[in-house]
Structure 1
Amino acid sequence: MYDDFVWMEKFGDLLFQRHVAVASVWGLVALRLADEEFLPFNYLSYACELQKSAKDLEDEVSGKGISLNPLFKSIEELTKAATKINDEKKAINKAKGWASIWKKDHSKVRELNDRLMMAERAFTDRDGLFGRTWYKHLIYAPSKHNNYGSRSFPGIQDAVEEANNLKTAESWLTVQHEVWRVSRAVNHVSLVLNGELT
């Protein structure tokens, strides 16, 4: 809201060098996405980060009667699916040789890339976050109270914050509901990566 052109020109990036650098980085990302045989998405590291965030969340909700078991189970399934798709990539590369994959196994490469691409979309929910329906991603979104901050599991985090403020049993039921929503989304990602859901 405050970072307008005048502010940027006088204080933020006087010679617009940072803008050029960021544009260069995004250009390289676009080139890599366009030129790679397989999309460079690593859902194994994604699952690892989700596991860390879930552990942090566990500390926040301990003693509140909230079960994070569905979330941990769904992340475990995501880890298995990510390992499986990484193994599929390796098998395709090993079986046909790197240079000949595109010509001989076009349909396998395309199908695997489609699964990788659709997996990120499976983290979204058409209803969006409670009170902020324009944010559809259930894993990463801006914080409700800090426009510059981003949080993992924003729907759960917002519900925990509200439950801590209200201190009612009903508000903790909302937290559990958000845990189930996120768990369902992570399960959908696992199904997409396994090729069971499109």
Structure 2
Amino acid sequence: MKILNKLAFFSCLFWSSSAFSGTLYSFDNGNLIGFEDGGKISGSYLSEDHADGHLLECKFNFKTTNSSIKKEKNKITAWEKNKYFQAKANGYLYINDDGWRIQINFPSEGCKRFPRSVFSSNKTEAETASISGKKNALGIFVLNKDTNYYSKSVDGFEPIKAKGDNLAKDDLVSAIETQGDFTYIEHYSLTSRAIKSSGWIKSIDLGDSISQ
């Protein structure tokens, strides 16, 4: 009964979300994604760099905290949480006709030592990430369990035995559309925010939106 209730909840949730979809942004550097909906922006940054023989990773999610999106300067809260590390910081998202850039002192060691990028603790040092694409979407989510893709046919949805990609708990995905109990997602790389794969999964396998 609990499973049936949860399925009904997700069906209602995504039916409503489909009616009020927002805009998913991709950027030329492949390290940043953003989602705009109802006057709010959420997004995620991930980049790796091999500096002096050491691997540096800078990773965080963020969302705007002002009441509506402003041209040029928007307050954001950024965070990263895993079993080894938790961090949170406030900063700014700058939006102009050229693209987006982030000003933040994110307290992870990888972000502190990272080379010049679209984020910086000093606005004048930050590069601008140019918008390379826009599409309608339902949001950016994390998976709440290990899952797999399904193929869609006139007879419904069937599991795909081998897709060539592992969909693991806590992986980041964007939800594009829903049909019945299934959602079409784009699965992001573990080393950047470039799309690694895409396909249909069970909607119930989506966890929280990063905008929550």
TM-score range for the pair, normalised by the shorter chain length? under 0.3
Greater RCO, 1 or 2 (C-alpha within 8 Å, sep 6+)? 1
Taking structure 2 as the reference length, what is the TM-score of the superposition?
0.23
Question: Which protein is bigger by CA-based radius of gyration?
Answer: 1
Counting helix residues as a fraction of each chain, which structure ranks higher? 1
